[in-house]
Amino acid sequence: MRWLDFGVIAAYLVGITWFGARFRGSQNSLKDYFLGGRRAPWWAISLSIVSAETSTLTVIGTPSLSFTGNFGFLQLVFGYLLARLVIATLFLPAYFRGEMFTAYELMRIRFGTRIRRLTAGTFLILRALAEGVRVFAISIVISVVLGTGEMASIAAILLLTLLYTYEGGMTAVIWTDVIQMTLYVAGAVISLFLVLQEIPGGWGHVIATAEPLGKLQVFDFRIGAPAEFFTRTYSFWAGIIGGCFLTTASHGTEQLLVQRLLSAKDERQSRAALLSSWVVIFVQFTLFLIVGVCLFTLYKDHGWTPPAVTDSIYPRFIWDRLPPGLSGLAIAAILAAAMSNLSAALNSLASTTVMDFLRPLDDVSGGRGDESTWLKRARLATVAWGVILAGVALLARNWGGVLQAGLSIASIIYGSLLGVFLLGLLTRRVGEIAAMCGMVAGLALMLYVRFATPIAFTWYVLIGTSMTFVTGLVASIFVKESPRAAV
């Protein structure tokens, strides 16, 4: 009955691509293409934020975390809530003063054009690397289902996602996100119900098996020696502090998520979208962690040997154990998460390339490109980034577990970005040169921390942010610069 599953998957891929491409008619300007014309309701933007924040890494990586460990990852989610409060209070008022297309326009207003290019370029590198991991993650799922090679799997998902992103812009991204997020949450709920059906005693047996082994533990309040404190990835302190800094950086400074916040009609709706998204995020992470513990119980009861790549354990269960039709639906749900995040990445990479690099150069040279010309260039930039991400995905095969690899790559660069944004929002005396010195110092330190120390990635953003902020303040004492307008 595999033909039924293939039919469901094919119907989803064709349907979502057709649905997204239908928004081409509403794309008449860069504001339409990059911000959806600021017409999307707050609840749709909220679900789009969730969809971008979770991605395939969550869908296949989170069950793996609880399968091999416990519920400690949820400690990060509480830090995510604290970060949202910081962004709503500090960042959103600055973003909604005037009409901005990217996060890095704020840096131009506060510091100047050079740091705008530096922060925008940092984002392009960060997102290309992190998204490459996500594209590779979905190739794991496709290879499980179709047995195809990594090249074919990567090409298939990229081409389909690129098609509707190219045509429909941010409007297509947001509304396909809504559908795709609903689908992959529904797929997880169905999977959970069916795996519990295979476990004699159901949820009660899962608790009886997992609890004595500490697999339901959420909080770890241990402090211990400094070496242990900073090398333990999931603890209460790393979750609250590290999770807060990580999410403040990702949602407050990275174009992938800031672009969604800027797509809201006004600051109030943007704030509602941001804060409400945390509730969904918490439910989602909890759901996927529960799935992982249930799979652990099932494997333990049957004495099965886990696959060598534990990230494949959830998609493998779906494909091998779920009834025909339902397994196809659940796999389509995982593909939905991948396409959702990938489309957003393509659009945000294109918007940063056009608005922070190409259009300012055109203005300087006296170019007179009209909106239709720039719309064509935006679409070409989208295609170019699709090609680049395909190359990065092929390199990501040797970077370890997909969830932790994605988060650790992002965390290396997030510190510099968040540090310079905080310099812009919280100080007045720090100028462009001092801020750039801070960014370089923060990035240099984080490269050392990543490759020469055992410090857990959950602390990366705090360390990088602190180094950037302090270096910028110190440099401003020695480098005298003319003050610019506050933001």
Span 2-399 CATH architecture: Up-down Bundle (1.20)
pLDDT at 292: 92
pLDDT at 390: 85
**Average pLDDT of the segment spanning 54-69:** 80
pLDDT at 146: 66
* Calculated CA dihedral for residues 453, 229, 286, 52, nearest 10 degrees: -40
pLDDT(199) > 70: yes
> Which amino acid belongs to residue 276?
S
pLDDT range class, residue 276, cuts 50, 70, 90:
very high
pLDDT at 369: 67
pLDDT at 402: 47
pLDDT range class, residue 263, cuts 50, 70, 90:
very high
pLDDT(456) > 50: yes
Interval 5-28: pLDDT, tens: 888 888 888 888 888 888 887 888
pLDDT(405) > 60: no
Q: Give the integer Cα–Cα distance in Å for 254 and 341.
A: 14
Cα 76–chain centre separation? 14
pLDDT at 175: 92
* Calculated CA dihedral for residues 41, 46, 49, 53, nearest 10 degrees: -160
Cβ atoms 343, 20 nearer than 8 A: yes
**Average pLDDT of the segment spanning 40-52:** 92
pLDDT(364) > 90: no
Q: Give the integer Cα–Cα distance in Å for 227 and 482.
A: 43
Q: Which residues of 386-399 are buried (b: 16+ CB within 10 A; e: fewer)?
A: bebbbebbeebeeb
Q: Give the integer Cα–Cα distance in Å for 390 and 345.
A: 13
Within 10 Å of residue 151's Cβ, how many Cβ atoms? 12
Cβ atoms 251, 421 nearer than 8 A: no
pLDDT(442) > 60: yes
pLDDT at 186: 85
**Average pLDDT of the segment spanning 361-381:** 79
Of the spans 53-57, 287-291, 343-347, 362-366, which averages the highest pLDDT? 287-291
**What is the overall mean pLDDT for the chain?**
86
Residues whose CB is less than 8 angstroms from the CB of residue 26 and which lie 6 or more positions away in sequence, other chains included: 32, 37, 168, 171
List Cβ<8 Å contacts ≥24 apart for 297-302: 297/199, 297/205, 297/206, 297/209, 297/210, 298/195, 298/198, 298/199, 299/67, 300/209, 301/199, 301/200, 301/209
Residues whose CB is less than 8 angstroms from the CB of residue 367 and which lie 6 or more positions away in sequence, other chains included: 361
pLDDT(345) > 90: no
